[in-house]
């Protein structure tokens, strides 16, 4: 038996990357959301200090890390009081996204609901577990066979933020189905046109009842720690206990030096503010140039991407950008509903962003 997975979508961008590289000014890669700015010194110092690590780390996270995660969710995500049993770390958030259906014991006949335009790993995780994927945004239409529902706010790729109203409806429908509701919130601190991107675990949504609810966060983007693999998960204590048991058995453990980095980094808001302002500037430069080049920007009120369209086929648009030496991602990577958009990442240096703006306006 082999696992039947689709080709890795980014491989299909290779011919366009080659074309873009041939541009006399070189390639400007705005196709992936991989941070380019320095890792903050608070993280580097903590890593140096924690380099001695002869013993196995705790899968649940050190006491220090669990306290840091609890206070981060309470202060930054308005969850109200959380206990130490309602948080665990993950090895970046992608493994948790990919493995969640498996860790929950889902299989054939179970339905995993994902957004209509979505980060591809939600579907991959369901496929790995042999569950059925249904793409549906409207909670009223989530099927009765649903065992896990993913929501993603701010969205990758669209940047859409789900409001409290939607979150209320989602919780009440998931509860009536007996499904786990998992919210991927890894761009939550990077908001532009909204003051706040509410968490699924916001106490105005949960009223303190987090049963079968899960929220995922990541330090990759807000703290330039993608290379460290640092994710955090919070949710109802029983669900967290189930996940912890499976993760202990499987050795899904965050290395102790990274746990120390996470503890230190979660307590420092200043570097997040600095990073947000860097992205805000790049976003303004790119948005202005894209609009001047005739593109419309949809949603993009938060997150690390501009979701842009001229109404043409996404691959035609990818080709148009690559002729200018700029690589962007086709919207169809994220679902058929994205096939008239491209995703433009803000994760490039100021110099690259200003060069991209020049080429777009030339």
The reply to whether omega before 173 is within 30° of 0 (cis) is no
Q: At its nearest, how many Å lie between ligand PLP and the CB of residue 123?
A: 12
CB of 1 to ligand PLP, least distance (A): 28
Nearer to ligand PLP, 62 or 218 (CB): 218
In the bound state with ligand PLP, the residue whose beta carbon lies nearer, of 96 and 352, is 96
Tell me how far apart the alpha carbons of residues 320 and 349 are, in angstroms, rounded to a whole number.
22
Q: What residues line the site for ligand PLP (CB under 6 A)?
A: 33, 92-94, 97, 119, 152, 156, 184, 186, 218, 220, 226, 231
Q: How far is the CB of 2 from ligand PLP (least distance, A)?
A: 25
Q: Which residues pair with 183 in a beta bridge?
A: 151, 215
Cβ proximity to ligand PLP: between 31 and 256 the closer is 31
Least Å from the CB of residue 118 to ligand PLP? 8
Q: Are 255 and 262 in contact (CB under 8 A)?
A: no
Q: How far is the CB of 320 from ligand PLP (least distance, A)?
A: 24
Closer residue to ligand PLP in complex, CB, 70/233: 233
Q: 101 vs 325, which CB is nearer to ligand PLP?
A: 101
62: left (phi over 0), alpha (psi -120 to 50) or beta: beta
Closest of 86, 85, 103, 90 to residue 235, by C-alpha: 86
Least Å from the CB of residue 95 to ligand PLP = 7
Query: What CA–CA distance (Å, rounded) separates 47 from 52?
Result: 10
Where does residue 170 rank: exposed (0-12), middle (13-18), buried (19+ CB within 10 A)?
buried
Min dist CB 262 to ligand PLP, Å, is 12
How far apart (Å, rounded) are the C-alpha atoms in residues 154 and 300?
Answer: 9
CB 236 within 8 A of CB 210: yes
Which residue number, 266 or 289, has a Cβ lying nearer to ligand PLP? 266
What's the angle, vertex CA 309, arms to CA 308 and CA 310, rounded to 5? 145
Q: Helix 41-49 and helix 256-266: axis angle, to 10°? A: 140
């Amino acid at each position: 038996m082999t696992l039947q997975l689709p080709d890795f979508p980014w491989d299909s961008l290779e011919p366009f990357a080659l074309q873009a590289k041939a541009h006399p000014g070189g390639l400007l890669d705005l196709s992936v959301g991989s941070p380019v700015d320095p890792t903050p010194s608070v993280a580097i110092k903590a890593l140096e200090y924690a380099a001695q690590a002869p013993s196995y780390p705790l899968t649940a996270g050190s006491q220090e890390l669990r306290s840091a995660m609890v206070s981060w969710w309470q202060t930054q995500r308005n969850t109200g009081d959380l206990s130490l049993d309602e948080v665990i770390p993950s090895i970046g958030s992608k493994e948790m996204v990919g493995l969640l259906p498996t860790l929950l014991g889902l299989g054939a006949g179970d339905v995993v609901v994902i957004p209509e335009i979505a980060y591809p790993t939600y579907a991959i995780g369901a496929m790995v577990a042999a569950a059925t994927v249904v793409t549906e945004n409207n909670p009223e239409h989530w099927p009765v066979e649903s065992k896990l529902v993913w929501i993603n706010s701010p969205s990758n790729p669209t940047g859409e933020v789900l409001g409290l109203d939607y979150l209320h409806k989602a919780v009440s429908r998931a509860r009536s189905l007996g499904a786990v509701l998992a919210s991927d919130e890894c761009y939550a601190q990077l908001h532009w046109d909204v003051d706040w991107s509410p968490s699924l675990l916001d106490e105005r949504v949960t009223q303190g009842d987090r049963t079968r609810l899960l929220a995922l966060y990541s330090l990759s983007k807000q703290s330039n720690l993608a290379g460290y693999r640092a994710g955090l998960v919070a949710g109802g204590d029983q669900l967290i206990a189930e996940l912890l048991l499976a993760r202990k058995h499987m050795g899904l453990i965050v290395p102790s030096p990274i746990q120390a980095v996470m503890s230190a980094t979660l307590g420092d808001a200043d570097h997040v503010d600095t990073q947000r302002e860097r992205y805000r500037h790049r976003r303004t430069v790119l948005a202005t140039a894209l609009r001047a080049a005739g593109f419309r920007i949809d949603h993009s009120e938060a997150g690390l991407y501009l979701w842009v369209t001229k109404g043409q086929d996404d691959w035609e648009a990818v080709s148009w950008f690559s002729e200018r030496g700029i690589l962007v991602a086709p919207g169809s990577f994220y679902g058929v509903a994205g096939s008239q958009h491209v995703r433009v990442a803000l994760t490039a240096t100021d110099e690259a962003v200003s060069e991209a703006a020049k080429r777009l306006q030339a």
